């Protein structure tokens, strides 16, 4: 519950690399997400090459924080021979959220950058990373040691909840 409330979109980062053991913890959180039929269609690209990070804001209009972020994780789906082709975006969403919660729990900062279903963003990322057409980049998570603080949030709204009928 602490990580859920503490997680905020953090878009300013200190100039400090993230140690490999933390990256691995974060990836483990992503891979522990639920998936339809336990398909686990996800693959992850860890990006810490400054030249590559700097290419993304050239076509993704809401990703300027990548100029400052020491790293990003691209969540991708392998859509070849999936048993439940309708569900891979939900699977990748669950993995993305698990990653964001792990980042918050480790006192790092991160933000979800939307990719799929924007075709232009999908194509550009496939080009940059040399991905085949049936590997779909779903989201980017920018991350780093936070250089901004945001209060934990509690936006519970009882009007959004109904019981037993609409
Ligand atoms: C599917 C999705 C796509 C998003 N895309 C972006 C994005 O491209 N750039 C960005 O800065 N934030 C993006 N966000 C983060 C939202 O702006 C943020 O979650 C929202 O404003 C709520 O703030 P909070 O995360 O601090 O609670 C995205 C979030 C989601 C779930």
Q: How many domains does the chain have?
A: 1
The structure's pTM equals 0.98
| Mutation probe of ligand 1 site: the residue of 112, 144, 148 with most atoms within 8 A of C-beta | 112
Ligand 1 close to Cβ of residue 121 (< 6 A): no
- For residue 61, the SS3 value is coil
Percent of all residues in the chain with a pLDDT value above 70, rounded to a whole number: 100
**Residue 166 to residue 126: CA distance in whole angstroms:** 42
**pLDDT tens digits, one per residue of 118-143:** 999 999 999 999 999 999 999 999 99
**Tokens standing for residue 160:** 């959004």
Distance 164 CA to ligand 1 centre (A): 31
Distance 114 CA to ligand 1 centre (A): 8
| Mutation probe of ligand 1 site: the residue of 114, 121, 122, 140 with most atoms within 8 A of C-beta | 114
**Block residue for tokens 């920018």:** 142
Whether residue 140 lies inside any domain: the answer is yes
Domain enclosing residue 70, as ranges: 2-147
pLDDT at site 154:
86
Whether residue 165 lies inside any domain: the answer is no
> 68, 21 in Cβ contact below 8 A?
no
pLDDT at site 81:
85
> 20, 81 in Cβ contact below 8 A?
no
Whether residue 159 lies inside any domain: the answer is no
Atom of ligand 1 nearest to the CA of 153: 27
CATH code at position 103: 3.40.109.10
Whether residue 30 lies inside any domain: the answer is yes
Half-sphere exposure of 87 (CA within 13 A, CB side): 15
Chain centroid offset of residue 91 CA: 12
Positions of the chain with pLDDT under 50: none
C-beta atoms surrounding 90 within 10 Å: 14
Ligand 1 close to Cβ of residue 8 (< 6 A): yes
**Residue 69 to residue 73: CA distance in whole angstroms:** 11
């Amino acid at each position: 519950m602490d990580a859920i409330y503490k997680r905020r979109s953090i878009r300013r980062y200190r100039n400090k690399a993230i140690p490999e053991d933390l990256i691995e913890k974060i990836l483990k959180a992503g891979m522990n997400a639920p998936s339809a039929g336990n398909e686990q269609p996800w693959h992850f690209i860890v990006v810490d090459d400054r030249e590559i990070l700097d290419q993304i804001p050239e076509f993704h209009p809401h990703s300027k924080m990548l100029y400052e972020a020491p790293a990003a994780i691209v969540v991708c789906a392998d859509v070849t021979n999936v048993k439940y082709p309708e569900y891979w975006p939900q699977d990748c969403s669950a993995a993305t959220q698990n990653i964001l919660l792990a980042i918050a729990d480790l006192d790092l900062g991160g933000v979800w950058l939307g990719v799929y279903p924007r075709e232009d963003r999908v194509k550009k990322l496939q080009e940059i990373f040399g991905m085949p057409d049936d590997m779909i980049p779903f989201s980017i998570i920018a991350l780093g040691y936070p250089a901004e603080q945001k209060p934990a949030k509690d936006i519970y709204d009882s009007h959004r909840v109904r019981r037993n009928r609409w």
